[in-house]
A and B are shown apart, each in its own frame.
Chain A
């Protein structure tokens, strides 16, 4: 029996769709800012609906909180029953809640951020379409429908990275993201074929089992032999390939830093908080299957932890404020995969949540900074902004402490739990993870220090032919800082690259910052590991197969202390060092160039591979394919023109043709007579 409130889940999907349609149809007419408000309203409504559905589900016993809301059946033909339906269970509810919640905040923020952009309405069309696709992805009740959402978010990501498609970099980055994701999608597709071949269905409940009448069934019940280990491994590995592409893990991570060419709210929503976590969601969704695929679990854990470490090192040497955050996102996603790999799905989801809060906040804060500095993104050109952007600085600071894993901020709890589980699985995994935690604290402190503390480097104009301007700019900055320098006259112009002094954004942009900051500070509370406050664990518990050994409380404490000390160390070092901007020793070029991976790949592709491809393209394309296609097309056109002669417009010819047809039929019949 489905409680009435759960039906609100329909609205979670329907409202963004309605917002999308409304903006598509009326967006141009509504214009700014109404189009944005329509989009925000849709997102907020979806969030409210998710809340209602969640409350409805909470009313049920914990093991019965799984509802399949069927919308309709598409293709009830020949064995393949593809439903269009929603699966409402703790996992999808959790995902829906945070996706719609963060979305609503970012929609609001975008109204301010996209102010006066010529593509304002287009932006919200994409944004609502994205939210719809994401809702479909997390709430679908079968793999194929999820895949539809999966492709939908991919498309929106493509469209939004290239939102300013007039900039060639943006267009190229969009293409890169699209192509990389295709590689992953192939894995997803193949996995679906395998699933259908083995289970004869693509429904989550049919494949993975579910909660029926309060009891787990199928794979979820741990029915051994339900699926051979090799099949499970193959399926999960292929799905993981899809996840790697979508969630930017090794080796398919290169697109994400480039994706920062998109508008900052997009980086926050799609490329930090929601879409990129879709891979983690997918792996958590197939947890019952992953349970039987130990090899895959190992691969997931190893890929996760190595991505986390590698991306963290790269993040230490980035100058672009958004690029640094992008590498940080990749690194944090690595943590989530580590959690999934070691079988600690709950904490993987937990970290996904907290990460969504603080990373979205970091991006939005970065956006506010970029906005304030008239689209400047180089951190080395910032500094001292805390005085000018107090709200931004405080909220950014909260996120900084959260991601650095400083108790009691949200990030600490989730990261700590993951590391504790990793310890139980393998000490090396833990060691790398802990080291990464220290690195994280370091590079985030570096970022905070570079942006908000130290000298106001942004006011020192770049080397210009007339040196006078530079001095004037500096004087202006000092004057505005109110440091008591009487030299600053009231008539001095602002520095050449800024129209006005940087200031905090308007309330539409500030409100989401504050909300997300509160979430980043208190987010740990949703899964507090003591006093029976681990709400999330208990909520998700029935959905995930029991993991192996659980670390003892004493071990946990010990590990917590160690990681906290490491994080604090990184934090202190970062803050202390980066009061000034020049420390080349700490930014070796191999880190600045991201371990040369992108360069190597480019070189490999542009070198021999390109040559090979060119050669093949010439032989295959020009000679074979083109020749074939042109030949066929020519043949068709020629035969069409020849046949046209018959169609000469004379009734007598037509009647003759008819008669020939009749006679041919009769002749055929004559052959069959008596047979």
Chain B
């Protein structure tokens, strides 16, 4: 049991620190009188009716993926270089096939338009879905007047048991809005 003592101590310390921090802020911090106005953003003005949209063009993600592809390739090339003599032909072949795999991913990304920055060149989606449906429909759905306001928790299950019992697609737009916040 002795060997685990330090481990236990660390756990205990962590716990003490966590609990302590909360307790300290409770005790030491100022205790404001909370009222709806105080809780509102900017403590005044008109309360926003929905989360502000924070949307990034998907191309940024694509560029990030291209970076990762080459990043990973380089990471694995280093050990190969170090061990090249020992690994011999086998290592070379393995590395080549690895590079090929990575290259396929790159080719796919390029074909998907990761490097096309011009506006509207590839408006048509290959999936055959009409543009209006794939892009604008989402936007309109989120901001549609009369749509239920986002709930406190971003991913509260509208699909939970009770909602399922109530049934129907009526509730579906509810959780679409907070998605951006979660992803971002």
**Whether chain A touches chain B in the assembled complex (some CB pair under 8 Å):** yes
In whole angstroms, how far apart are the Cα atoms of A648 and B158 in the complex?
9
- Scoring A648, A649, A651, A652 by chain B CB atoms within 10 A of each residue's CB, the highest score goes to A649
Say yes or no for B106: interface residue by CB 8 A criterion.
Answer: no
Contact partner of B161 among A647, A650, A651, CB < 8 A?
A647
From 621 to 675 in chain A, residues with beta carbon under 8 angstroms from any chain B beta carbon are 644, 647-652
Interface size grouping (class) on chain A: under 10
A-B contact count (CB 8 A): 21
- The interface residues of chain A lying within 8 Å CB-to-CB of B159 are 649
The smallest C-beta distance from A639 to any residue of chain B, in angstroms, reads 14
Flag if A651 contacts B160 (CB, 8 Å).
no
Look across to chain B and name the residue whose beta carbon is closest to the beta carbon of A647: B161
The smallest C-beta distance from B1 to any residue of chain A, in angstroms, reads 9
- The interface residues of chain A lying within 8 Å CB-to-CB of B156 are 649-650
In whole angstroms, how far apart are the Cα atoms of A320 and B156 in the complex?
75
Contact partner of A647 among B153, B158, B160, CB < 8 A?
B160
- The interface residues of chain B lying within 8 Å CB-to-CB of A651 are 155
In whole angstroms, how far apart are the Cα atoms of A650 and B160 in the complex?
9
In whole angstroms, how far apart are the Cα atoms of A647 and B159 in the complex?
10
Look across to chain A and name the residue whose beta carbon is closest to the beta carbon of B165: A644
In whole angstroms, how far apart are the Cα atoms of A648 and B159 in the complex?
9
The smallest C-beta distance from B126 to any residue of chain A, in angstroms, reads 33
Interface size grouping (class) on chain B: 10 to 19
- The interface residues of chain A lying within 8 Å CB-to-CB of B163 are 649
- The interface residues of chain B lying within 8 Å CB-to-CB of A648 are 157, 160-161
In whole angstroms, how far apart are the Cα atoms of A651 and B175 in the complex?
13
- The interface residues of chain B lying within 8 Å CB-to-CB of A647 are 160-161
In whole angstroms, how far apart are the Cα atoms of A649 and B162 in the complex?
10
- The interface residues of chain A lying within 8 Å CB-to-CB of B158 are 649
Flag if A644 contacts B157 (CB, 8 Å).
no
In whole angstroms, how far apart are the Cα atoms of A650 and B178 in the complex?
14
In whole angstroms, how far apart are the Cα atoms of A293 and B131 in the complex?
86
In whole angstroms, how far apart are the Cα atoms of A639 and B94 in the complex?
57
Look across to chain B and name the residue whose beta carbon is closest to the beta carbon of A643: B161
The smallest C-beta distance from B93 to any residue of chain A, in angstroms, reads 43
Look across to chain B and name the residue whose beta carbon is closest to the beta carbon of A646: B161
- The interface residues of chain B lying within 8 Å CB-to-CB of A650 are 153, 155-157
The smallest C-beta distance from B4 to any residue of chain A, in angstroms, reads 10
In whole angstroms, how far apart are the Cα atoms of A644 and B164 in the complex?
11
Q: Offer 21 A-B interface pairs, CB within 8 angstroms, sorted by A.
A: A644-B161, A644-B162, A647-B160, A647-B161, A648-B157, A648-B160, A648-B161, A649-B155, A649-B156, A649-B157, A649-B158, A649-B159, A649-B160, A649-B161, A649-B163, A650-B153, A650-B155, A650-B156, A650-B157, A651-B155, A652-B153
For the complex with contacts A647-B160, A648-B161, A651-B155, 18 further pairs of A-B residues with Cβ separation under 8 Å are A644-B161, A644-B162, A647-B161, A648-B157, A648-B160, A649-B155, A649-B156, A649-B157, A649-B158, A649-B159, A649-B160, A649-B161, A649-B163, A650-B153, A650-B155, A650-B156, A650-B157, A652-B153
List A residues at the B interface (Cβ < 8 Å). Answer: 644, 647-652
Q: Which 9 A-B pairs have the closest CB atoms?
A: A649-B157, A649-B160, A644-B161, A647-B161, A651-B155, A648-B160, A649-B156, A650-B153, A650-B156
